[in-house]
Structure 1
Amino acid sequence: MTSSTNTRKRRRGRSGPTITAVAELAGVSAMTVSNVLNNRPVVQPATREAVLKAVKTLNYTPNSAARALASAATLRIGLIHHGAESALLSAILVGTLRAVSRLGAQLVMDTYDSADPIAGVERFLKMDLDGLLLPPPLCEMVSAAGLPERYDTKMIALAPGGELPNMDCVRIDDEQATYEITRILLEKGHRRIGLVTLPGALVAVSRLRGYLRALGEFGIAPDMNLVWEARPTFDAGLELAERVLVEDRDATAVLAGNDDMAAAFVNVALRQNLSIPDDISIIGFDDSPIAVKIWPSLTTVRQPLAQIAEQATDRLVDALRNPNSANQISAKAIYVDFEVIERLSVGTARS
């Protein structure tokens, strides 16, 4: 037997109680012990007391390096989404997976039913999650329903349309983005600009403010008949476009709620033998893959959803590891930069 083998055996012989022993004495899981030792707010007071009593009884002292590694490994980060939101989900997944891989955390995913999204979130919250990522517009619904106050699980919102009073969020400035794309159209001579807002979402309010601010700077009185509402899907965009472009076209330009809706407007305009951008200019939002797959390619606002998701995951993990940090005192909005991508779907208005 070599001396190195003897050394390893002596080290094992001198080792103290393990986290498993603490868990067995307290009657809980090793994950719960880890949550207590890392001061996470997900443990009930009685359970926390039992774990601390077991730690004291066994004189358990965790190795700091191993404790940090275990803390990262046991974090369970939830991401709940609507299955139909493929472009949105793909971008969010890229950023989330990048973050959890770097941080050593575990990603748990689930879907919710649009007929009762809050029930879906509450069911998901029962799956022993440490934290939860909420995409739009679900994050706004969860905030309004008061779930952050009712559950211990730390939640963070991805790209809401406005700041949320009870939840951290990572977002772009939708008002400023809409202001800038409205100005692009105004500077090209457009005066009859349609705006598509999203029903029941904070982003509708933010984008309307940006739109009205730009019109006001050009001295143009807003015509609310040019402010339309539709769900952010291609089919809903088709239905709206067929109404406002076919039945009684009054706009020379359209700001769509997202790129799918903008693509629907392009589809209907071309079927009506309207030239883009000569007869009508169309702007999307998000810079999703469809923006460059259609012709003409879309001018759009690039909302960096992958970056938003990665920063939100970083923020969430930091909040779980440092629950008593000054940064955790109140809900905080973190802004990331957007970019207006100018392509071929916008031109000068005909006089």
Structure 2
Amino acid sequence: MTTQDNGRKRRRGAGGPTITAVAEHAGVSAMTVSNVLNNKSFVNPAAREAVLRAVKALNYTPNTAARSLAAAATLRIGLMHRDTDSALLSAMLVGSLRATARLGVQLVLEIYDTVDPIGSVEKLLRNGIDGLLLPPPICEVASAAGLPERHDVPMVGLAPGGDLRNMDCVRIDDEEASYQLTRILLEKGHRRIAIITLPTGLVAASRLRGYLRALGDAGVVADMGLVWEASPTFDAGLALAERVIKERRDFTAVIAGNDDMAAAFVNVALRNKLSVPEDMSITGFDDTPIAVKIWPPLTTVRQPLALMAEKGVERLVSTLRGTAEDPSPKALYVDFSIVERQSVGSVPN
């Protein structure tokens, strides 16, 4: 080692404990120490107390210049997604990019492993992300797994089926949307209405409640044999449609979990020489581009996914910059609408 190297080493050592040393003493990450020193409201109270004890024990004095540089650094917002969620991802990506460009932050796009979604999220968190956008169903999974309590990184769930107890979320009222969609079918004389729920707890429960409430208000006894479950993909919709259309024809309408599944039902119905909507009415959910690319175009719930993502970014940035009025977890609601097209008809007398 040269004399110059020794001098550099002595100068570094003479500066006192580093933020890394504080992190090691407190048993947390350096990012957590930075969040505590910058008085970020989302830091876990236990972690905050550990950092403050370490600061006192080590007599650590923050480097004001370094903290100023850190505060000015570009925030990195992560958006997790599945590679099969093309329509959902496209809409959310538009909103996320619109907001990040306006607010001067960086968007990081990451595919998560459906076999180990929690591991995928935690891997991204370890890579220095400042905030995280989680679409369905990963937002519900992350919330149930307690990730917000284990990591000092603010997270926002996009389009969950219900409020999330430990993280912010942006959503529509899925129960009311399902209720209104079911009412439209009931008003057109349908009494044997099937519903396809999604394999995510909150979305499935909320939409099923709306469906059952609408049936009850109309005096229709629910047949739970018409409640089906499938993954939100075109292929899963095809498999389900091919099975139920061949095995039973005692339903006149289908409420699909999303537009891809609804399109699959239209496809199978037409291949089985059934007319839509004369023989079978079919509705979707989300109002993604496929809703108007098939024939007949779908009656569906318009869920403003781009707006939801934009509001999610805004919430993350306000939390990270300390400008949020109320940093505690909250649900932000956006309006939905029912778009009526040609895939729904009246039951013949």
> TM-score normalized by structure 1?
0.84
Deviation of residue 285 (structure 1)? 0.3
Matches within 5 A, 1:167-246: 167-246=167-246
Matches within 5 A, 1:9-88: 27=18, 38-40=38-40, 45=51, 53-55=61-63, 71=71, 73-88=73-88
Give the 4+ runs in structure 1 shifted more than 6 A: 29-34, 46-52
Give the structure 2 partner of residue 328 of structure 1.
327
Give the structure 2 partner of residue 16 of structure 1.
none
AA in 1 matched with 2:121: V
Cα distance in 1 for partners of 2:71, 2:293 equals 43
Deviation of residue 201 (structure 1)? 2.8
Distance 1:286 1:61, change over 3 A: closer
Deviation of residue 243 (structure 1)? 1.5
Deviation of residue 180 (structure 1)? 0.3
Higher mean C-alpha deviation, range 341-350 or range 30-39 = 30-39
The CA deviation string for residues 61-84 of structure 1, in whole angstroms up to 9 with x for no partner, is 98xxxx6x9746421111111112
Deviation of residue 309 (structure 1)? 0.3
CA contact (8 A) 2:78 2:109 kept: yes
- Secondary structure of residue in 2 paired with 1:301: strand
Give the structure 2 partner of residue 340 of structure 1.
338
Deviation of residue 345 (structure 1)? 0.3
The CA deviation string for residues 257-293 of structure 1, in whole angstroms up to 9 with x for no partner, is 0000000000000001111111110000000110011
Cα distance in 1 for partners of 2:227, 2:316 equals 36
Deviation of residue 51 (structure 1)? 10
Give the structure 1 partner of residue 27 of structure 2.
none
Give the structure 2 partner of residue 12 of structure 1.
none
CA contact (8 A) 1:73 1:106 kept: no
CA contact (8 A) 2:18 2:60 kept: no
Cα distance in 2 for partners of 1:75, 1:51 equals 29
- Secondary structure of residue in 1 paired with 2:61: helix
> TM-score normalized by structure 2?
0.84
CA contact (8 A) 2:136 2:158 kept: yes
Deviation of residue 320 (structure 1)? 1.2
Distance 1:54 1:207, change over 3 A: closer
CA contact (8 A) 2:140 2:200 kept: no
Deviation of residue 27 (structure 1)? 4.1
Cα distance in 1 for partners of 2:100, 2:294 equals 34
CA contact (8 A) 1:26 1:54 kept: no
- For structure 1, list consecutive stretches of 5 or more residues without a partner in the other structure: 1-20
Distance 1:321 1:238, change over 3 A: same
Distance 1:33 1:218, change over 3 A: closer
AA in 1 matched with 2:105: A
Cα distance in 1 for partners of 2:55, 2:314 equals 26
CA contact (8 A) 1:72 1:104 kept: no
Q: Please say if 1:312 is aligned against 2:309.
A: no
- Secondary structure of residue in 2 paired with 1:327: coil
Cα distance in 1 for partners of 2:262, 2:199 equals 16
Give the structure 1 partner of residue 99 of structure 2.
99
CA contact (8 A) 1:72 1:105 kept: no
Cα distance in 2 for partners of 1:35, 1:117 equals 26
AA in 2 matched with 1:239: A
Give the structure 2 partner of residue 274 of structure 1.
274
Distance 1:305 1:25, change over 3 A: farther
The CA deviation string for residues 216-238 of structure 1, in whole angstroms up to 9 with x for no partner, is 11111101111111111111111
Cα distance in 2 for partners of 1:137, 1:241 equals 23
Distance 1:82 1:343, change over 3 A: same
Deviation of residue 38 (structure 1)? 3.8
Cα distance in 2 for partners of 1:316, 1:93 equals 15
CA contact (8 A) 1:279 1:350 kept: no
The CA deviation string for residues 191-250 of structure 1, in whole angstroms up to 9 with x for no partner, is 100000012431110001000111111111101111111111111111111111122111
AA in 2 matched with 1:327: D
Cα distance in 1 for partners of 2:86, 2:59 equals 43
CA contact (8 A) 2:230 2:240 kept: yes
Deviation of residue 169 (structure 1)? 0.4
Give the structure 2 partner of residue 144 of structure 1.
144
Q: How many pairs align?
A: 319
- Secondary structure of residue in 2 paired with 1:53: coil
AA in 2 matched with 1:301: V
Cα distance in 1 for partners of 2:247, 2:89 equals 35
Deviation of residue 251 (structure 1)? 0.8
CA contact (8 A) 2:302 2:337 kept: yes
CA contact (8 A) 1:34 1:71 kept: no
AA in 2 matched with 1:349: V
Cα distance in 1 for partners of 2:71, 2:204 equals 40
Deviation of residue 350 (structure 1)? 1.8
- Secondary structure of residue in 2 paired with 1:347: coil
The CA deviation string for residues 312-346 of structure 1, in whole angstroms up to 9 with x for no partner, is 110111111127x55113x2111000011111100
Give the structure 2 partner of residue 158 of structure 1.
158
Cα distance in 1 for partners of 2:71, 2:104 equals 9
